[in-house]
Structure 1
Amino acid sequence: MSQTIQRSAPARPASFRDRLTAPLPAFRELVSVAWHGGLRTNIGDIDQIPVLRGGLPQLTGTVVTWVGHATYVLQVEGLTILTDPVWSRKIPGVRQRLTPPGVAWSDLPRIDAVVISHNHYDHLDAPTIRRLPRTTPIFAPANLGRWFTRRGFRHVTELDWWEGATLGGVSFDFVPAHHWSRRTIWDTCRSLWGGWVNQQVDLLRR
Structure 2
Amino acid sequence: MKAETIDDAPAANVVHLVADHDDLGAAPESVPFGQRITAGAALVLWALLAAAAAGSAVLLTGLWAGDSPGWWFNLIFTVLPALFLFGCALALLESRRSARRERRLSARWEATRANARSTVATIVDRDVRLTEHGSVSSFIVAVRTDDGREVRARWYRSSGSNADRALLQPQVPALGSEVRIWAVPEASVDDPHVVVALDPSVAPRREG
What TM-score, normalized by structure 1, do the two folds share? 0.21
The structure richer in helix per residue is 2
Asked which structure has the greater CA Rg, the reply is 2
